[in-house]
Amino acid sequence: MSVVDYKNLGELVKPINWNRLEDPKDREILDVLESNFWLPEEIAMANDKVTWKNLTDAEKRLTAHVFAGLTLLDTVQSQFGAEVLKFDAETQHEAAVFSQITYMEAVHARSYSNIFSTLLSSEDIDEVMTWAWNNPHLRKKQEIILSYYQGDDPFMRKIASVMLESFLFYSGFFWAFYLSSRQTLTNTATMIALILRDESIHGYYIGYKFQRMMERLAQDEREEYRVKAEELFHELYKNEILYTESLYDTVLDTRPGITEEVKKFLRYNGNKAMLNLGLNPLFSREETEILPAILTAMSPNSNDNHDFFSDKGSSYKRGTVEETNDDDWD
């Protein structure tokens, strides 16, 4: 039961006391989120305009579509996902952590606008946003996730949220890291690495809270949610494969084999989503063997576990966004 009835704002609220914690994990995660705080304006994006010119038209189109899709997912999570999870918070401290998560998801959604304003014209930006809204696979993701966010089951809300945080973003993340490993759009990849680090914390924390809730259930109930989690994953995975093929098959002539590499990356992160929920991974090591260069590019201090306690990294530096205007595209 929620610590506060957010639908009844007449209810009185006690002052939050961070000196008395029911779950020390709440303070630990909040400290990490606050120490990792960043804003998109702190990433110097202008240098990426040089390597952007080296991409083919198909690769530029893929880049725009990938980031439009990520924008949509972060919008869903900032405006609905983290908010509904706050309704299920059992302590004020847990609610405070979800408030911080909500804010950072909004920062992520805004971050892609900095990428767009650096690389695209206003007309192109409008076009890719329309594409994201109309894309059937992105609409399917929304429909599935929002059906659980709008449902009455707090367990399924957390499962769906972990799937979004720990799995659904990664078909898009892959392209940024792939290009970065080839010295292209490296500052964009730095921003994506910071977003990934945040999403890793969010997925871990939501999964941790799910596991705490599961501890109170009888064995048969826990088994029921394990089955539901696997069924939801497979439904999302099927759609994600179709989405991946529709995106990456368009650049196979210049990037041979890339679609299959993205699928391995999906399975790799799908396993991580299941582990965050305290469940067994679904794919073998052979099915999740991703390119070492991608793993290296994933974080300035990359390792196999997404080290979310690391600092911003050597490639992170304060800068200003150099916006283009429509005259630049004449």
Residue 36 has pLDDT above 70, yes or no: yes
Measured distance CA(218)–CA(241) in Å, rounded: 35
Homologous superfamily assigned to 24-312 = Ribonucleotide Reductase, subunit A (1.10.620.20)
From 103, 112, 204, 243, the catalytic residue: 112
Measured distance CA(197)–CA(32) in Å, rounded: 11
Measured distance CA(281)–CA(112) in Å, rounded: 31
Q: Where are the domains of the chain?
A: 24-312
Looking at residues 255-264, what average pLDDT do you find? 97
Residue 205 designated active-site: no
Strand segments (E) across the chain: none
Which pLDDT does position 321 carry in this prediction? 45
Which pLDDT does position 109 carry in this prediction? 87
Nearest 5°: CA angle at 30, between 26 and 32?
120
Q: How far is CA 51 from CA 76, 169, 272, in A?
A: 31, 24, 32
pLDDT tens readout for residues 274-313:
999 999 999 999 999 999 999 888 865 443 333 444 444 4
Q: Which two tokens stand for residue 70?
A: 């990520």
pLDDT tens readout for residues 165-184:
999 999 999 999 999 999 99
What single-letter amino acid sits at 38?
W
Which pLDDT does position 77 carry in this prediction? 87
Residue 7 three-state SS: coil
Looking at residues 192-197, what average pLDDT do you find? 93
Q: Which two tokens stand for residue 288?
A: 């999740």
Confidence of residue 14 (pLDDT cuts 50, 70, 90): confident
Q: What is the pTM of this model?
A: 0.87
Which pLDDT does position 326 carry in this prediction? 55
